[in-house]
Amino acid sequence: MVFQVTPGMRRLGASVLGMEAIVVALTIPVALRSGAEPSVAVAVGAGLAVLCVLVAALLKRPVAFIVGTILQVLVIATGFLVPTMFFLGVIFLALWITAIFVARRVEGVTFR
């Protein structure tokens, strides 16, 4: 079975990744305030935010959904810098999974 990317999956996935990029970027000042090493906080926060935007731009390709899922795990791992990100990362993972399955289900009904 070939993984097909639908327009709804791209729209919902890009929405999740766009919101996630903002939240991840906002972890930079929180991490700095909590005493994290500045170079680590900026590199991790900015790097993941940029990655979110890049993956959102590549969502026409099925491999972008694999990279997006790996990205969700990395966002959860930022909880080691900012503990709240453990919780927020799990929420974004749930939104990511929901975006994929809900869009496929809705568009599957629409295409029939």
**pLDDT, tens digit, for every residue of 56-88?**
999 999 899 999 999 999 999 999 999 999 999
- The CA distance from 9 to 107, in Å, is 9
Residue 81: C-alpha distances to residues 27, 53, 54, 64, 97 (Å) = 9, 21, 23, 26, 24
**pLDDT, tens digit, for every residue of 2-46?**
678 888 889 999 999 999 999 999 999 999 999 899 999 999 999
